[in-house]
Amino acid sequence: MNITNLFATAGMTFFEEMWYQICKVLVSPLFGIFLVLVLGYLLGRIKIKGISLGSAGVFIMAIVVGIVTTFIKEPLNTALLEAFGAKADGSALLSFSWGASTFSIVKNIGLALFVTSVGLIAGPKFFRNFKSKAVAYIVIGVVVILTGTIVCIMVAWLDPNVDAATATGLLMGSLTSTPGFSAAQNVFEDQATTVAAANGAAYPFGVIGVVLFVQLLPRLLRADIAKERELLVAQGAPKGGDIDEGGQEKTDKKLFTFDKFGLCVFAITVALGLLGGAISFKFSESIVFNLTSTGGCLLVGLLFGHFGKVGKVSLQVPDNTLKVLRELGLVLFLMGSGFEGGLKFLELVSSTPIVFLYGVLMTLIPMIVGFIIAKFMFKLCLLNNLGSITGGMTSTPALGSLIAVAETEDVASAYAATYPISLILLVFMPQLINVLGV
């Protein structure tokens, strides 16, 4: 017997089989996921005048891959069919399977990992910080969303080529709001595809714009980050409690722990967060509000982080575990979002290029107005200010970037305080725009 036959599929030589197996890996979604991660991190490491994309490089790379996929999928599948033939049922033996459904799952897993980690990290200080700055966070959240909505309405009024559905989709993409996007599709049900295309056109800058804002502004203001960290602690410093020198809650060694890495507690937090986020409140046929998986996981994480235990059972997760899961979650979320955005990006921009500019305005103007209000009206320090802006913009990737700039997770408290306010308002904005008859 020829030894190569031991390694080859019937009808294939040894080398044909090896090529088939290599192609099978190359077209699999698992390979695509890790390839985007590698290329994205390499892109994120590139620095221009000290500024780099960091983890957001994964988002940019995912957009590129999403766009490329739309052009190569059909001819590539044709080539694979010709090269390897079909199964008995007539379907291709190999097909290119980098699809939106796979990356959507990756996005949802990443989102759950990231926001749960943020909640557990911020929990020990969040409620004390929120109590002292509650009015500021509420006002900033309201100002950011209302400013974006005003820009959205003005765009629809001034440009006859942009209807209410398109403008609303642009707003939700600019503020990277999945719940708002869902609400917009419900309100403009007959134009759901238009809303989706507009959301995809504005989404890329909605992510990158806020990420660059939190990186560039401290440099433009020549801020001393070490001093700003001290001010951040002073404005939200926890009083009382069992805190160690690193600012972390001390672990009671007498408490029962499920595992040393805290993965069981983390999984419980995610599961309860998903259940809590699914609870819906129906205000009308077109307005249905729920916290979504983002808000649910964030809220349960904050509560678990705050209380730290239930009876004799520890709810704490080691800091090192949380940091790894936070970074992993962030890049997975960015990858999934970028791939989906890339698929839709060209749909609207190619036919109406100016909508991209409108999306830029809906991202930048609310941030600038919110920053001015936070700085001059509420006297928030820079990092507290930027944390509240990322929450007001509902920008999960920007929070990850801000944590890297500030070198402290304490900025997550401001994000977590402002985020729910903006989330709730965004769900109602499509209905408001529709009622105004824009």
What's the farthest any 2 CA atoms get from each other in the chain? 84
pTM for the model stands at 0.69
* 219 vs 408: CA distance, rounded Å: 17
Q: Are 269 and 117 in contact (CB under 8 A)?
A: no
Tokens of 420: 């729910």
Name which of 142, 161, 138, 140 is nearest 150 in CA terms.
Answer: 142
* 249 vs 259: CA distance, rounded Å: 18
Q: Are 45 and 57 in contact (CB under 8 A)?
A: yes
Burial of 6 (0-12, 13-18, 19+ CB in 10 A): exposed
What is the radius of gyration, based on Cα positions, of the chain? 24
The predicted structure's pLDDT at residue 4: 44
In the chain, the amino acid numbered 310 is: V
Q: Which CB contacts under 8 angstroms, 24+ apart, belong to 128-133?
A: 128/236, 128/238, 128/239, 129/235, 129/236, 129/238, 129/413, 129/414, 129/417, 130/413, 130/417, 132/235, 132/236, 133/235, 133/236, 133/378, 133/380, 133/384, 133/414, 133/417
Q: Are 166 and 355 in contact (CB under 8 A)?
A: yes
Strand (E) or helix (H) holding 232: helix 225-236
Residues in the chain predicted with pLDDT less than 70, given as ranges, are 1-12, 49-53, 90, 126, 129-132, 178-179, 182-183, 185-186, 192-193, 235-253, 283-292, 341, 343-345, 347-348, 437-438
Q: Are 97 and 29 in contact (CB under 8 A)?
A: yes
Q: Which CB contacts under 8 angstroms, 24+ apart, belong to 89-95?
A: 94/20, 94/23, 94/24, 94/27, 95/27
Map out the domains of the chain as residue ranges.
3-84, 116-332+352-435
The predicted structure's pLDDT at residue 144: 93
pLDDT, tens digit (0-9, with 9 covering 90-100), for 161-205: 888 888 988 998 898 876 677 667 667 777 766 777 787 788 888
Name which of 384, 362, 385, 388 is nearest 146 in CA terms.
Answer: 362
Name which of 393, 379, 386 is nearest 421 in CA terms.
Answer: 393
The predicted structure's pLDDT at residue 242: 43
Helix axes 396-406, 382-392, angle to 10 degrees: 170
Name which of 126, 122, 127 is nearest 319 in CA terms.
Answer: 122
Q: Which value, to the nearest 10 degrees, does the dihedral of the CA atoms of residues 196, 201, 206, 208 take?
A: 130
Q: Are 168 and 430 in contact (CB under 8 A)?
A: yes
Cα–Cα distances (Å) from 394 to 36, 173, 184, 432, in that order, read 24, 11, 16, 19
* 279 vs 288: CA distance, rounded Å: 10
* 278 vs 272: CA distance, rounded Å: 10
